[in-house]
């Protein structure tokens, strides 16, 4: 009887816990914490339809708030980091959010009375906060710029300033420099490089070994496109970039060039067991 009572109490508390979820936004002039209830009650909250949603891989409808409205005073020279509860850390320049090409960023907010289904990403729960886009192709928004399970949005120095050990020399080959730019938009959201980075979802890609040092180029290329081609692992976190829309062949070539470059530029960071 006691066990049944506890289960009933837990079920009653779940909607309250969902409404208690908080999103912290800090642009450097004082942090603001928003709850789901506060966001859903905003006058600019509306219903948006996302025809090709990244997390669910189908059309989705959300109650959402225009992201710009939550970032007052955001400047084009600023850089934003979107941190998720699972360790994902998306790096997005303010210019992408403030673009004039027609793409618009929305903060989707999960209503506990209408919970979202399990995502296509190994059945993960995407809520309670998720950055979604309308007309994303207009501003070349990548799939890694759709972070879900959001906990924090903050303005910080850009990646080059924070982590100089991952930046190629200015005289490096143009393909390496392009690969670095692609790496920052895609791989760096999950992985560290040379021990540097804020993401905690995937392993370091240079220490102690760079993947170009232990995988043939064709296997590594296939792994980036679809990790299951290398290891049959249904619970794997990495979903890959299966189409050229998500990562073009030229961008993939450039990423591999950057990885090969970094294999020769390892940071001297002690490796702890």
The pLDDT assigned to 117 comes to 93
Digit-coded pLDDT (tens) for 182-215: 999 989 988 999 999 998 888 999 999 999 999 9
Digit-coded pLDDT (tens) for 232-269: 666 666 777 877 777 899 999 999 999 999 999 998 76
Digit-coded pLDDT (tens) for 3-30: 443 444 344 444 444 446 999 999 998 9
Q: Are 67 and 107 in contact (CB under 8 A)?
A: yes
Percent of the chain's residues with pLDDT above 90: 72
The pLDDT assigned to 15 comes to 43
Please, is 215 exposed, middle or buried when counting C-beta atoms within 10 Å of its C-beta (0-12, 13-18, 19+)? Answer: middle
What CA–CA distance (Å, rounded) separates 120 from 167?
Answer: 33
Query: In angstroms, what CA-CA distances link 272 with 28, 141, 192, 207, 209?
Result: 34, 37, 15, 11, 14
**Which helix (H) or strand (E) element contains residue 17?**
helix 2-19
Q: Any residues with CB less than 8 A from the CB of 72 and at least 6 apart, and which?
A: 27
Please, is 253 exposed, middle or buried when counting C-beta atoms within 10 Å of its C-beta (0-12, 13-18, 19+)? Answer: middle
Instruction: Tell me what the pLDDT averaged over the chain comes to.
Output: 88
∠ Cα 116 86 154 (to 5°): 95
Digit-coded pLDDT (tens) for 46-101: 999 999 999 999 999 999 999 999 999 999 999 999 999 988 999 999 999 999 99
Say yes or no to pLDDT of 272 above 60. no
What is the separation of C-alpha 124 from the centre of its chain, rounded to a whole number of angstroms? 14
- Candidates 119, 108, 145, 132; CA nearest to 247 is 145
Question: Which pTM was predicted?
Answer: 0.82
């Amino acid at each position: 009887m006691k066990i049944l009572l506890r289960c009933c109490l837990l079920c009653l508390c779940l909607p309250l816990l969902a409404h208690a979820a908080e999103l912290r936004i800090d642009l450097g002039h004082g942090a603001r914490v928003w709850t789901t209830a506060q966001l859903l009650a905003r006058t600019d909250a509306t219903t948006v339809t996302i025809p090709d949603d990244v997390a669910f891989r189908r059309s989705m409808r959300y109650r959402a708030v225009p992201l710009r409205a939550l970032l007052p005073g955001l400047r084009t020279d600023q850089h934003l980091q979107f941190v998720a509860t699972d360790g994902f850390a998306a790096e997005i320049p303010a210019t992408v959010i403030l673009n004039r090409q027609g793409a618009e960023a929305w903060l989707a907010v999960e209503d506990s009375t209408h919970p979202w289904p399990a995502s296509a990403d190994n059945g993960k729960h995407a809520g309670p906060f998720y950055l979604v886009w309308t007309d994303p192709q207009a501003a070349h928004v990548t799939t890694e710029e759709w972070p879900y399970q959001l906990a924090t949005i903050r303005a910080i120095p850009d990646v080059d300033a924070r982590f100089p050990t991952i930046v190629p020399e200015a005289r490096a080959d143009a393909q390496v420099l392009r690969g670095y730019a692609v790496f920052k938009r895609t791989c760096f959201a999950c992985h560290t490089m040379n021990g540097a980075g804020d993401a905690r979802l995937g392993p370091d890609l240079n220490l102690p070994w760079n993947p170009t040092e232990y995988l043939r180029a064709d296997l590594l290329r296939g792994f980036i496109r679809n990790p299951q081609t290398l290891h049959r692992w249904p619970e794997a976190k990495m979903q890959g970039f299966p189409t050229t829309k998500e990562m073009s062949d030229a961008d993939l070539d450039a990423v591999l060039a950057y990885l090969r470059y970094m294999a020769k530029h390892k940071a001297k960071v002690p490796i702890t067991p």
